[in-house]
C-alpha cells in the first residue's frame, strides 16, 4: 500500500517453433513488462518483425490519424464482442474505407481540414473588403499610378499621430468605430524609403488590393473576368464562400455516413490491429537464436506462479534473475485512495522500491484543503463542481480522478465549515464586528451552535494548530526519508536526517514558546541551543559541512504551514467584504438581484479559492513534505497485452 508492487525480473527461454503461440498466450496474460534487449551476444540476436507487420502498422497509423481527426467516442460497453476471424474477414472493406478507393476517410478528413482553412481565408478577405469599401474608394483608385504609391491596411489611431507633422502624405480613413480601422495612404514614390521607416514601428496589417483580386481570380479555372468594382469582388468572394461551404457540407455528410455505418467495425479493426501489430513487432524486443528465443521482462512478484503455469504448457522455462536494473513501477493503492495517485504522478512517478505517498496524500491533502477554505457554503458548491468534473471537462480540467480528489476536498471543506461555524462567509451566530448578518438571523432560525473556532478571533490558536500540523507533517516526511535510506543502506544519510529532526524540534520549541506561550521550567535558550548544536553536529557528520548552510531552510519549512490559516483568513476576509456590500440589499427592493449577485460572486470566489487552496495544499506536499524523502523518476509498468473491448479471440485459437 505504501509501496508500489514488488517486481521481479525474469528470463523466459523457449523453443523457437512455438514462439508464435507463446507470444499469443503472453499477450493474453498481459503481465510481462518487456525489457528491450541490447544488441545480442552472438548466440542470440534481436529478432526481426514478422513480414506482415509493415502493412499492418501502416494501416493502423492511418487509422489512428483518422480517429484523431474525427474523434469517435469509444463505447464503454459495446453490444457484443466480435471474433477476431470476423474482423480479419472485414479488413479489406475497412481498409478501403480508411484509405482505399471507397470513401477514404483519410482523404476526406484531409479535404475537410483544407476546406476549413480556405473558408477561413475567404471569410477574412471578405471582411477586409467590407471594411475597405467604407473608405468610399473604388478598386481603380488604388492604382497603380506612375508617381504615387498606395498602402492599404488596418491600423489604430497611432497612424495619424505618426504622420501629424508630415505634409507629403494623404491618409484616407473609414469612419472610426472599432479600434483598428481601414486606411489608404497615398505618397509620392520618391519618398517610399522615408515612409517605410516611419511606419516600421506601427502595428499595421497591410492588405494588398491586387492580391485580393488575384486570389479570387486564381480560384476560377475559366477565363478571369476583369474586376473593376468592389461590388463585383464581394459578389465573387461570396459565391466562392458558398461553393466552399457546400463542398464542406458534402464532405461532412460523407464522413458522417461512413462513421455511422462502420463505427463499430472501425473501432474493432483498430483494436484488432493494435493487438496484431504489437505481437508482430514483438520479435524486435526479444532475442532470437537458431532454435530458441529469450524474453527479458518484469512482472509483479505475486503473479509469477501464474506466468510459470502458462509458460510450462508451452515448454517455456521461467528463470528469475537477481538484478540491479531500475524496475518499472506499478502503484498499488486500494479503492478510493487510488485517485490520489494523480497528485503523486503530477510530481513524478515513484521508483519501484520507493515509498508511494499517495495514501498519505489521501489523508493530508483534503485536510489541508478543507482547513484553508473551511466554509459549508463553499464546500457544497465545490461538491457540485467536483461531481460535474467527474464526467465533464472544464477549461481542460476534468476526469474521474480529478473529480474524486475534489470530492474529498469538498467534504473536508464542509467539515471544517462546521468547525469554523461559517457559511458563505457568514457566521452561524451574530457576534463582534459583523453582528446582524449571520446565518441564524438571515434564515430566522434558532441555532445553539456557533462554531468551535473563529477565523478572525482565534488567530493565536490557529497559528499554533497549523504549526503543530506542520511539525507532525515534516516529522513524518523525515521518518519516511530515514526508512528509505535504511532500505538503501545509506546509514550516513540517516544520521543527517536525524540531525534535521533535532534542529526542527529546536525551532518548534522556540516557535511554540513564542506563539503558544507554553511555560517552560528553564529559559527557552537552554533547550533550543543544545538542540541546534546537537542537530548541526549530526547534520555535518551525515551530510557534510555544506548541508549546515541550509540550517534555516527548515525554519522556513515549518513557518510555511502558517499559510494553512493565513490563506483561509484572507479568503474569509474577501467573503466578509462581499457580504457587507450585498447582504444589506436583501431587504430592499433590490432583493432578488442582490441574492443572485450573492451566489454568483461567491461562486467566483470559490473558483479562485479552490485554485489557491489546491495550489497551497499541493505545494505544502511537494515543497515541504516530498523534499524530505521523495525521489521519483520511476517509469510506468506497462505490460505486453491489451484490454479488449470490441474483439475476442476465436475458438480455434483456444484461450
Partner 1 sequence: MAVEGLAAIGAGIAIGLAALAAGIAEKDIGAAAVGAIAENPKLFGRALAIIVIPETIVIFGILVAFKILGMF
Q: Count Cβ atoms within 10 A of the Cβ of residue 183 and give its class: 0-12 exposed, 13-18 middle, 19 or more buried.
A: buried
Residue with cell 494623404: 170
Task: State the minimum distance, in angstroms, from the CB of residue 625 to partner 1.
Answer: 10
Question: Which CB, 94 or 462, lies closer to partner 1?
Answer: 462
For residue 555, the surrounding DSSP H or E stretch is helix 553-560
Task: State the minimum distance, in angstroms, from the CB of residue 391 to partner 1.
Answer: 23
Distances 257 to 103, 105, 116 between C-alpha atoms, Å: 10, 11, 19
DSSP state of 350: P
Rounded Cα distance between 415 and 375, Å, is 8
Q: Which of 297, 271, 204 is nearest to 13 (CA)?
A: 297
Q: What is the DSSP string of 585-600?
A: GGGSTTHHHHHHHHHH
Task: State the minimum distance, in angstroms, from the CB of residue 615 to partner 1.
Answer: 7
Decide: 429 and 450 in contact? Cβ < 8 Å.
yes
Decide: 616 and 372 in contact? Cβ < 8 Å.
yes
Half-sphere exposure of 269 (CA within 13 A, CB side): 26
Q: What is the DSSP string of 198-263?
A: HHTTS--EE--HHHHHHHHHHT--S-PPPP-SHHHHHHHHHHHHHHHHHHHHHHHHHHHHHHHHHH
Question: Which CB, 187 or 478, lies closer to partner 1?
Answer: 478
Question: Which CB, 243 or 553, lies closer to partner 1?
Answer: 553
Task: State the minimum distance, in angstroms, from the CB of residue 358 to partner 1.
Answer: 13
Decide: 379 and 373 in contact? Cβ < 8 Å.
yes
Question: Which CB, 348 or 441, lies closer to partner 1?
Answer: 348
Task: State the minimum distance, in angstroms, from the CB of residue 458 to partner 1.
Answer: 11
Question: Which CB, 418 or 456, lies closer to partner 1?
Answer: 456
- For 50, the grid coordinates are 514478422
Rounded Cα distance between 59 and 66, Å, is 11
Rounded Cα distance between 34 and 40, Å, is 15
Phi first, then psi: give them for residue 431, nearest 5 degrees: -160, 155
Question: Which CB, 2 or 559, lies closer to partner 1?
Answer: 559
Residue with cell 510555511: 560
- Residues forming contacts to partner 1 in the complex (CB under 8 A) are 345-348, 459-460, 463, 514-515, 556, 559-560, 562-563, 566, 615, 618-619, 622-623, 626
Question: Which CB, 586 or 622, lies closer to partner 1?
Answer: 622
Question: Which CB, 99 or 628, lies closer to partner 1?
Answer: 628
Task: State the minimum distance, in angstroms, from the CB of residue 627 to partner 1.
Answer: 8
DSSP state of 2: -
Task: State the minimum distance, in angstroms, from the CB of residue 459 to partner 1.
Answer: 5
Question: Which CB, 345 or 390, lies closer to partner 1?
Answer: 345
Task: State the minimum distance, in angstroms, from the CB of residue 203 to partner 1.
Answer: 24
Q: Could you tell me which residues are beta bridge partners of residue 422?
A: 427
Half-sphere exposure of 424 (CA within 13 A, CB side): 20
Question: Which CB, 169 or 516, lies closer to partner 1?
Answer: 516
- For 423, the grid coordinates are 457559511
DSSP state of 175: P
Find how far residue 371's CA is from the centre of its chain. Answer: 25
Task: State the minimum distance, in angstroms, from the CB of residue 360 to partner 1.
Answer: 16
Find how far residue 571's CA is from the centre of its chain. Answer: 26
Could you tell me which residues come within 8 angstroms of residue 270 by beta carbon, excluding any fewer than 6 positions away?
A: 60, 63, 64, 67
Question: Which CB, 599 or 635, lies closer to partner 1?
Answer: 635
Task: State the minimum distance, in angstroms, from the CB of residue 632 to partner 1.
Answer: 8
Rounded Cα distance between 404 and 182, Å, is 53
Task: State the minimum distance, in angstroms, from the CB of residue 193 to partner 1.
Answer: 38
Question: Which CB, 301 or 346, lies closer to partner 1?
Answer: 346
Task: State the minimum distance, in angstroms, from the CB of residue 558 to partner 1.
Answer: 10
Task: State the minimum distance, in angstroms, from the CB of residue 346 to partner 1.
Answer: 4
Question: Which CB, 346 or 596, lies closer to partner 1?
Answer: 346
Q: Count Cβ atoms within 10 A of the Cβ of residue 577 and give its class: 0-12 exposed, 13-18 middle, 19 or more buried.
A: exposed
The three-state secondary structure class of 172 is strand
Amino acid at each position: 500500500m505504501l509501496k508500489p508492487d514488488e517486481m521481479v525480473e525474469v528470463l523466459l527461454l523457449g523453443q523457437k517453433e512455438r514462439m508464435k503461440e507463446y507470444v499469443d498466450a503472453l499477450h493474453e496474460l498481459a503481465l510481462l513488462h518487456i525489457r528491450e534487449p541490447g544488441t545480442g551476444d552472438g548466440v542470440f540476436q534481436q529478432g526481426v518483425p514478422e513480414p506482415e507487420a509493415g502493412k499492418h502498422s501502416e494501416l493502423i497509423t492511418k487509422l489512428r490519424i483518422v480517429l484523431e481527426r474525427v474523434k469517435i467516442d469509444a463505447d464503454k460497453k459495446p453490444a457484443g464482442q466480435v471474433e477476431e476471424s470476423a474482423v480479419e474477414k472485414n479488413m479489406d472493406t475497412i481498409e478501403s474505407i480508411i484509405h482505399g478507393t471507397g470513401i477514404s476517410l483519410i482523404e476526406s478528413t484531409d479535404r475537410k481540414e483544407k476546406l476549413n482553412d480556405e473558408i477561413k481565408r475567404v471569410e477574412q478577405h471578405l471582411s477586409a473588403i467590407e471594411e475597405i469599401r467604407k473608405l468610399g474608394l473604388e478598386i481603380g483608385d488604388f492604382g497603380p499610378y506612375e508617381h504615387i504609391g498606395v498602402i492599404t491596411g488596418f491600423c489604430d489611431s497611432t497612424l495619424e499621430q505618426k504622420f501629424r507633422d508630415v505634409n507629403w502624405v494623404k491618409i484616407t480613413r473609414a469612419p472610426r468605430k472599432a479600434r483598428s480601422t481601414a486606411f489608404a495612404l497615398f505618397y509620392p514614390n520618391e519618398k517610399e524609403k522615408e515612409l517605410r521607416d516611419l511606419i516600421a514601428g506601427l502595428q499595421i496589417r497591410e492588405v494588398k488590393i491586387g492580391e485580393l483580386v488575384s486570389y479570387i481570380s486564381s480560384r476560377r479555372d475559366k477565363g478571369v473576368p476583369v474586376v473593376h468594382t468592389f461590388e463585383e469582388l464581394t459578389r465573387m468572394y461570396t459565391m466562392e464562400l458558398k461553393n466552399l461551404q457546400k463542398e464542406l457540407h458534402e464532405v461532412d455528410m460523407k464522413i458522417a455516413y461512413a462513421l455511422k455505418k462502420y463505427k463499430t467495425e472501425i473501432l474493432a479493426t483498430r483494436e484488432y490491429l493494435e493487438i496484431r501489430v504489437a505481437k508482430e513487432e514483438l520479435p524486435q524486443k526479444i532475442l532470437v537464436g537458431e532454435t530458441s528465443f529469450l524474453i527479458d521482462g518484469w512482472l509483479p512478484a505475486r503473479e509469477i506462479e501464474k506466468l510459470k503455469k502458462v509458460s510450462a504448457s508451452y515448454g517455456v522455462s521461467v528463470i528469475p534473475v537477481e538484478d540491479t536494473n531500475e524496475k518499472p513501477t506499478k502503484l498499488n493503492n486500494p479503492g478510493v485512495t487510488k485517485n490520489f495517485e494523480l497528485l503523486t504522478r503530477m510530481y513524478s512517478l515513484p521508483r519501484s522500491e520507493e515509498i508511494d505517498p499517495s495514501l498519505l496524500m489521501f489523508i493530508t491533502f483534503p485536510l489541508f484543503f478543507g482547513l484553508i477554505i473551511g466554509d459549508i457554503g463553499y464546500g457544497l458548491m465545490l461538491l457540485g463542481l467536483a461531481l460535474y468534473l467527474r464526467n465533464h471537462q472544464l477549461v481542460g480540467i476534468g476526469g474521474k480522478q480529478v473529480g474524486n480528489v475534489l470530492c474529498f476536498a469538498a467534504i473536508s471543506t464542509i467539515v471544517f465549515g462546521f468547525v469554523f461555524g461559517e457559511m458563505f462567509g457568514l457566521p452561524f451566530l451574530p457576534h463582534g464586528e459583523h453582528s446582524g448578518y449571520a446565518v441564524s438571523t438571515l434564515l430566522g432560525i434558532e441555532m445553539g451552535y456557533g462554531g468551535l473556532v473563529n477565523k478572525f478571533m482565534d488567530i493565536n490558536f490557529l497559528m499554533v494548530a497549523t504549526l503543530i500540523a506542520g511539525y507532525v507533517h515534516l516529522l513524518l516526511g523525515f521518518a519516511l526519508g530515514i526508512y528509505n535510506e535504511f532500505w538503501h543502506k545509506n546509514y550516513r544519510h540517516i544520521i543527517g536526517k536525524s540531525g534535521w529532526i533535532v534542529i526542527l524540534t529546536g525551532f518548534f520549541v522556540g516557535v511554540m514558546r513564542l506563539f503558544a506561550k507554553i511555560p517552560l521550567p528553564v529559559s527557552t535558550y537552554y533547550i533550543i541551543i543544545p538542540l541546534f548544536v546537537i542537530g548541526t553536529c549530526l547534520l555535518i557528520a551525515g551530510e557534510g559541512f555544506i548541508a549546515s548552510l541550509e540550517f534555516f531552510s527548515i525554519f522556513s519549512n515549518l513557518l510555511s504551514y502558517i499559510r494553512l490559516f493565513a490563506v483561509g483568513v484572507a479568503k474569509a476576509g474577501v467573503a466578509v467584504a462581499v457580504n457587507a456590500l450585498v447582504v444589506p440589499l436583501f431587504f430592499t427592493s433590490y432583493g432578488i438581484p442582490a441574492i443572485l449577485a450573492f451566489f454568483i460572486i461567491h461562486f467566483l470566489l470559490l473558483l479562485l479559492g479552490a485554485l489557491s487552496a489546491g495550489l497551497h495544499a499541493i505545494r505544502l506536499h511537494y515543497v515541504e513534505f516530498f523534499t524530505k524523502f521523495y525521489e521519483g523518476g520511476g517509469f510506468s509498468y506497462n505490460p505486453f497485452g491489451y484490454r479488449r473491448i470490441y474483439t475476442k479471440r476465436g475458438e480455434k485459437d483456444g484461450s
